[in-house]
Chains A and B, each alone.
Chain A
Amino acid sequence: MTAFGENLSAFYAVIRRDFHVFLSYRTRLVSQILTSVFSLTLFYYVSRLIRVEGFTTPDRYFGFVVVGIALVGVLYSCFAVSETIRQELVAGTFERLLLSPFGGVRGAVATAIFPLTYAFALSSITLGLGVVIFGLELHWSTVPLALPALFLALLAFLPFGLIFTALTIATKQANVGASWIIALLSIVGGLYFPIALLPGWAQFAAEVQPFTPATELLRHLLVDAPMETSVGLALVKIVGFAEILVPLSLYALYRAIRLGQRRGTIIEY
């Protein structure tokens, strides 16, 4: 048995654990789908009011915002890992991860996989409901390309969640400021409106995080929205952010755990 096989088995165990815990809450999926339907309904009727430059028809804005709604769920799931780890600290199960050869860093990364996969599924359902109920027009020829693009985007988003997990381990507080970050990224990432509407200084903020190019690229691939930059440049930005942020976040997580072990506070919650 190779180390790779053992690691694969451990990652699988964490994903399966989260899947079974999820299944044990029987109404969760239904309630989340209903939330998506309510959001879609709200923005469908808001979009009926939109007839401005950039959105020639209400349907153009609806397509624009549905992708934003789908992505905000993915963004939330990236930050969800820190809340899960906080619960694990309280339950003493994070201690179990630390007492295993798998360890805390890999354990935390593995813990992020199910929520991300689930968020991806829920985003797909949201888009599907948009198509079926509200007549959203997807650009089917490029829709399959959204899958690898979203995977790259997740690699760039996930580090935010891991850095917040490191903060949670260090401070014992869940999601310190995470809701502010999510709100801020929703604004500067152009989730509900084009970033061109923002003042100049805020547009700078739109350039220094991966959410803006990812949103723009996915909109282009899913609903054929025009891009401010080229597809290639958006991809370069996403990959660049991922390359910098993934090792940085893993290091932050490792340091937070080691600091807790050195001080002896890792067992506190």
Chain B
Amino acid sequence: MSGVLTEADFEFELPAARRAEPMPLSLRGVSKAWDKGRVPVLNRVDLDIDVGDRVRIAGRNGVGKTTLMRIAAGLIDPDRGQATVWGTSAVEHPERYQRLVSFLPAGDRGLYARLSVRRQLDFWARIAMVPRRQVAARVEEAIEIFDLRELADRRVDRMSMGQRQRLRIAMTFMPHPDVVLLDEPLTSLDGEGAEILFGAIERLLDKGGALLWCSPAGEHLEYEFDRTYMLVEGRLVRA
């Protein structure tokens, strides 16, 4: 036996990307302008989110919070700068990026109205490339954790807005991402739903994940964040 240790000598294994880049989520010099020549909605935004971090971005309506979240999610590109998760670029390696990050967009869209909760979760698990043998277990886990048992066979168009939001949140956490991005997640949620969400966040952080939460300024939140930023004139300002 040689004296050189290999990965196989350790009990645990870290993904290659993690060894190369310490930050779960990093935004570097991110700028975005919706019209050429106009003031950018995001102006050289820098943000690092470490393992176990709970970070909130707040700000007035229309200030660019959702744009920032969409860039962090890899849904749209910044004009300048880049978003990386464990060093993986959203633009250059979208497939790998989407395996690491999960985004809950604001609003109530993104669900198939005529599919049941269970079918919706199964669909999303497969699209999220959850290993085939784990799909059924993940679906059941999500149904259990997000208290969807009674709704499991109900079609989405026959559910209340709060129930739909719980399903959307379940879909966000189900692939076991490293980084979760939540854009106004409390929309339509009742107190019980909010508690379930906070529990899911704690489990994510316990497993070494990270959270970026975005909601309007002035929203009353019974949840503690490690850092809160205000988005003002395209820049993040520590609150």
Contacts and interface: CB of A to CB of B under 8 A. Distances in A.
A91 B32 CA distance: 25
A103 interface: yes
Interface string A87-116: 000011101111111110001000000000
Size category of the B interface is: 35 or more
Contacts of B119: 16-17, 20
Contact of A9 (B76, B126, B155): B126
B128 A100 contact: yes
B231 interface: no
A12 interface: yes
A10 interface: yes
B189 to A, nearest CB: 18
A100 B128 CA distance: 5
B217 interface: no
B129 A6 contact: yes
Contacts of A98: 75
A93 B111 contact: yes
B75 A266 contact: yes
Contacts of A93: 109-112
B124 interface: yes
Contact of B112 (A10, A21, A99, A262): A21
A267 B76 contact: yes
Contacts of B127: 10, 13-14, 96-97, 100-102, 107
A103 to B, nearest CB: 6
A154 B222 CA distance: 56
Contacts of B34: 264
Contact of B76 (A13, A20, A266): A266
Contact of A99 (B74, B123, B131): B74
Contacts of B232: none
Interface string B76-99: 110000000000000000111011
Given A13-B123, A103-B94, A107-B127, A264 B111 contact: no
B135 A9 contact: yes
A12 B112 CA distance: 16
Nearest to A260: B76
A184 B99 CA distance: 44
A17 B95 contact: no
A103 B98 CA distance: 9
A92 B110 contact: yes
Interface in B96-128: 96, 98-99, 102-103, 105, 107, 109-115, 119, 122-128
A20 B94 CA distance: 29
Contacts of B176: none
B115 A20 contact: yes
Interface in A5-25: 5-6, 9-10, 12-14, 16-17, 20-21, 24-25
Nearest to B155: A24
B165 interface: no
A261 interface: yes
A14 to B, nearest CB: 8
Given A95-B110, A96-B127, A102-B127, A264 B98 contact: no
A1 interface: yes
Contacts of B70: 264, 267
Contact of B114 (A14, A24, A266): A24
A46 to B, nearest CB: 39
Contact of A12 (B74, B107, B113, B126): B126
Contacts of B102: 99
A6 B131 contact: yes
A25 B113 CA distance: 12
Contacts of A262: 76-77
Contacts of B128: 100-102
Interface of A: 1, 5-6, 9-10, 12-14, 16-17, 20-21, 24-25, 91-93, 95-103, 107, 261-262, 264, 266-267
Nearest 3 interchain pairs by C-beta: A92-B109, A13-B126, A1-B131
Interface of B: 32, 34, 67, 70, 73-77, 94-96, 98-99, 102-103, 105, 107, 109-115, 119, 122-129, 131-133, 135, 155
Given A91-B112, A262-B76, A264-B77, 11 more contacts: A9-B135, A10-B126, A10-B129, A20-B114, A21-B112, A92-B109, A99-B74, A101-B96, A107-B127, A267-B75, A267-B76
26 contacts: A1-B131, A6-B132, A9-B132, A12-B126, A17-B112, A17-B115, A17-B123, A21-B114, A25-B114, A91-B110, A91-B111, A92-B107, A93-B111, A96-B127, A98-B75, A99-B74, A99-B102, A100-B98, A100-B124, A100-B127, A101-B96, A103-B94, A261-B76, A261-B77, A264-B34, A267-B76
